[in-house]
Homo-oligomer: A and B are copies of this chain.
Amino acid sequence: MKKPQGFTVHDIARLAGVSAMTVSRTLNHPEKVSPAVLARVREVVARTGFVPNGMARGLRSSKARLVAAVLPTLVGPVFQETVRALNEALDEQGYQLMIGQSGYDASREDALLDAIIRRRPDGIVLTGIMHSPEGRRQLLASGIPVVETWDLTPTPIDMLVGFSHERIGQSVCHFLYSRGYRHPALISADDDRARRRIEGFQGMSRTLGLDAAPTHLVPAPTTLGSGRAGLAAVLAAHPHTDAVFCSSDMLALGVLIEAQARGLAVPRQLGVVGLGDLDLAASLQPALTTVRIDGTRIGRTAAQYIVERAEGRSVSEPIVDIGFEIIERASA
């Protein structure tokens, strides 16, 4: 298998009648090259379609201009905003984003981490915090800047941009109570962060003198269908449920549809709160009350932290809680 078009800096140098070093400078520090030479080299580059080999550059300069992000699920609305913002911010600074999917499975996660570390990215963005001790060790040992996101922990690996899931649970419970609901239930994904929201919710529910909220767990990723089925299940077991906190807007949409199919009036007979504030939330009928997390800010901040580090500067406030907000619309 022959490489069809294997141009190197040397080829370009020869064709332009200069040294390889000058080609390299033309590409990376054009201000240090005389205009005449610059034009000549550029002409050859354009004519040949030469694209320098980034692996060689990275190897020599130990700057890959690459940032890796680890997502539990590759695509799906939840981290959409974060990833978009991350990608945009990095792109502006000349960095490429590489995305890896961890699944919700821990053993695959270590393999993924290995694949990532091999490429020596300038930074790694994790959605969620890293629990596997082996993963932590690898990350720490690699010396690569790491930003954990979408969660809080007293023991971050390195940097952190997140918020408290427990506090979300508390706030939503309190919000529902303040709206007059006394028999709330939970329909929730079965993952670690969702579980902490549930704990927060139940804690507050105890504080307010309510019964423990019935909880219906659904497998991740959450879908509209599991929202419908979830409401059906909850209502079957606890007929006087008067409100539901869903762990995603999709789930909430399912609940809304199922409620409608059953002739249950929202928000009068059933309050519904989602999580995520997807763009569909505002367009629903009734518009969905939901918890908004500023994913854009998470992504942008993570990008900024990593670029700072990659350029050798230090980050002054490497651990931030960006909080969240309950967007009150019409469904609760």
Q: Of all chain B residues, which has the CB nearest A309? A: B1
Contact A97 B96 (CB under 8 A): no
Binding-face segment, A17-25, A138-146, A173-181, A322-330: A138-146
Interface segment out of the listed A113-121, A123-131, A269-277:
A113-121
Q: Is the CB of B51 within 8 A of A114?
A: yes
- Is there an interface contact between B49 and A53, defined as CB atoms closer than 8 Å? no
A14-73 at interface with B (beta carbon < 8 Å): 48-49, 51-59, 62, 64, 66
B-facing residues in A219-268 (Cβ within 8 Å) = 223-225, 228, 250, 253-254, 257, 260-261
Selected interface stretch from A162-170, A185-193, A206-214, A279-287: A279-287
Bound Cα distance from A98 to B118, whole angstroms = 14
* Set B64, B142, B224: member contacting A55, Cβ < 8 A: B64
The answer to whether B118 touches A49, judged by C-beta atoms less than 8 angstroms apart, is no
Closest-by-CB residue of B relative to A96 is: B115
Give Cα A77–Cα B279 distance, bound, in whole angstroms: 13
Whether the pair A74, B84 counts as a contact (CB closer than 8 A) is yes
Q: Give every chain B residue within 8 A of A49 (Cβ-Cβ).
A: 137-138, 141-142
B59 touches A59 (CB 8 A): yes
Give the contacts of A84-116 with B (CB-CB under 8 A).
84, 87, 96-101, 114-116
Q: How far apart are the CA atoms of A79 and B5 in the complex, in Å? A: 31
Question: Which residue of B57, B74, B96, B254 contacts A83 across the interface (Cβ within 8 Å)?
Answer: B74
Q: Which residues of B contact A75 (CB under 8 A)?
A: 75-77, 79-80, 83-84
In the assembled complex, the Cα of A137 lies from the Cα of B49 at a distance in Å of 8
A52–B138 Cα distance when bound, in Å, is: 12
Q: A143 is contacted by which of B5, B224, B261 (Cβ under 8 Å)?
A: B5
Contact of A282 among B1, B225, B261 (CB under 8 A): B225
Chain B residues lying within 8 Å of A115, measured Cβ to Cβ, are 96
- Report if A53-B5 is in contact (Cβ < 8 Å); known contacts: A279-B224, A283-B224, A283-B225: no
| Minimum distance in angstroms from A49 CB to a CB of chain B | 4
Please indicate which of the listed interface residues A114, A120, A223, A280 has the most CB atoms of chain B within 10 Å of its own CB. Answer: A280
Chain B min CB distance to A93 (Å): 12
Report A37 CB to chain B, min CB distance, Å. 22
The answer to whether B87 touches A76 (Cβ under 8 A) is no
User: Does A4 count as interface, using CB distance less than 8 angstroms?
Assistant: yes
